[in-house]
Structure 1
Amino acid sequence: MQPPLKRCFFYNLRQMPYTDAHIWQRSLLAERIQDPSLDDVLILLEHPPVYTLGQGATPEFLKFDLDTSNFEVHRVERGGEVTYHCPGQVVGYPILNLQRYRKDLHWYLRQLEEVIIRVLAGYGLIGDRLTGFTGVWLEGRKVAAIGIKVSRWITMHGFALNVCPDMTGFQHIVPCGIADKPVASLAEWIPGISCDEVRSQIARAFAEVFDVDLIEVAR
C-alpha cells in the first residue's frame, strides 16, 4: 500500500511587493522551526521591479550606484549573487522541511532545477543544467535562477523563471554574477506565453518532483 502523499499548502498569488513576501517567508520559516510538524508551503507570485543580493553577493555586479539610483535593492539571506525580479517572471518560494525528503542541499537544488526542466519539456523545450552553476538554461541562455536559504533543514527563497518579463532590467546587473552567459525568457521561444498558464505547469511539476499533494489556499 502506497503511503499517503505529503501535504503542501499552495498559494497561487498575483503581484506582491518583495519586502512583504520576504517578511511572510521568514514568518513561515520561524513557525516551522518552532513546530516542525507544520505542513510545507509553496508560494508562486510575481514581484514589482526589484534587485536582490545574496548574503555574500558582490556589489561590483551592479552596474549602478547603490547610493544614487532609484532602484529598489535588498540584500537578503539567500545564497547567490544579484538577481532581478519583475512582472512576467514567476517566482517560487517553497517552505519545505527537508527532513521529510532528503537532508541534502545539493539534492534539493537539483530537484528545483528538475521542476523547471519538466515545465520546459511540457512546451517541447530542452532545459539544461551547466556543470558548476545553479539554474536552468535554454540553448545556452539562462531562463531560471535559483537561490535558497535553509535553517534547521527548513527552506526559504527558491526559484525565478523568466516567462514574459520586460528584460531591460537585467541590463543594469551582471545576472547571478555570470558575465559570459546571457539571460532569456520563455517568450523568446513561445510568443504569447503567459504567467498564468506557466504557474499551473510549475505547480504540477512541483507536485510530481517532490511527491506532494498541493492544497491550494487563499491568503
Structure 2
Amino acid sequence: MKTLTLWTPGLVEYGKAWDAQKRIHALRREDKIGDTLILLEHPHVYTIGRHGDRSNILFDDETLREKGISVYHIDRGGDVTYHGPGQLVGYPIFHYKNLGFSTRRFVHSIEEVMIITLARFGLTAKRDPLYPGVWIGSNKICAIGLRVIDGVSMHGFALNLRTDPAYFGGIIACGIQDRGVTSLEMEMKKQGNPMPDQKTVISELTTTFKEVYGFHRIQSFSDKSSVPGLS
C-alpha cells in the first residue's frame, strides 16, 4: 500500500526548511522513509537557483533589509523567485522513478496537479511550452523548480494564494521580463467568487496528489517537532 506522508508545519524560516528538506531527502534516498510532501509558508524571501542571475533582484540591500526580505542562493533549477506569507510552498520529496516517472514527466505531473486543483475552484490554468510552471493567461500562478539526486526530488512549487504582488515587484520573476504573476485570490475575485481558505486548498491539493501519483492513503502531521530537521 503506497502511503504519502504529509507535513504541514505552518510558517517556517526558509533556511530551517531547507535544512529539513535536505535531511528528509537523505532519508528518502536511503529508503528509511516513504514519499513525503511538505506544505508550508515562508517569511519574505527571494531564492536564486543554480543558474540564476543576482541582477534579477531589483531591490538594493537597504530596501531588502527595510522590507525584511532574506536572500538565499540555492541548488534548485530556475532563476529568481519569491516566497512569502499567503503563498503555499510545496516540497514533494518523491522517489519518482519508483512511481514510474521520468524527470520530464515528473515536472509535467506537478503542473498537472496544479491545473487539476485550480480547476476544482473553477479556474482554467495551463502549461506554457516555453516556461515551466502553471499559468492563467499570461500570468504565472504557480512556479516550479526542482533538484533531483539519485531519482529523488527536492524543492518543488510555490502556489500563490493571497500573495502580496508588491514583493514580486522587487524581482524579475524566474528571469522572465514580459510576463506577470497572479494569485488564487485575484482570479477568484475576477469571477466574483469567494476565496477558499488555506485548509480547503490544502485538502484539494493533497487529494489531487493522491490521485495523480496513485497513493492509497495520506498520513498527515502538523506539528513542527515531527519534521526531521525542524525538531
TM-score between the two structures when normalised by the length of structure 1: 0.93
Q: Does 2:112 match 1:114?
A: yes
2:82 is aligned to 84
Match of 1:13 among 6, 9, 15: 9
- Equivalences for residues 49-60 of structure 1 within 5 A: 49-60=44-55
1:29 is aligned to 25
Task: Name which structure has the greater RCO, CA cutoff 8 Å, separation 6+.
Answer: 2
| Structure 2: unaligned runs, 5 residues or longer | 190-194, 227-231
Shift of 1:104: 1.3
The question of whether the paired residues in 2 share the 8 Å contact of 1:10 and 1:41 is answered with yes
Deviations 1:95-114 (A, max 9, x none): 10123113511101000000
- Equivalences for residues 40-189 of structure 1 within 5 A: 40-66=35-61, 69-70=64-65, 71-189=69-187
TM-score between the two structures when normalised by the length of structure 2: 0.88
Give the letter aligned to residue 156 of structure 1: M
Shift of 1:68: 7.4
Q: Percent identity?
A: 36
The question of whether the paired residues in 2 share the 8 Å contact of 1:80 and 1:176 is answered with yes
Shift of 1:13: 2.5
1:202 is aligned to 205
CA RMSD of aligned residues (A): 1.5
| Structure 1: unaligned runs, 5 residues or longer | none
1:215 is aligned to 219
Give the letter aligned to residue 166 of structure 2: T
| Counterparts of 2:154 and 2:27, CA distance in 1 | 12
Secondary structure of 1:29 counterpart: helix
| Counterparts of 2:37 and 2:92, CA distance in 1 | 4
Give the letter aligned to residue 50 of structure 1: V
The aligned length equals 214
Shift of 1:201: 1.2
Secondary structure of 1:206 counterpart: helix
Give the letter aligned to residue 7 of structure 1: T
Shift of 1:199: 1.2
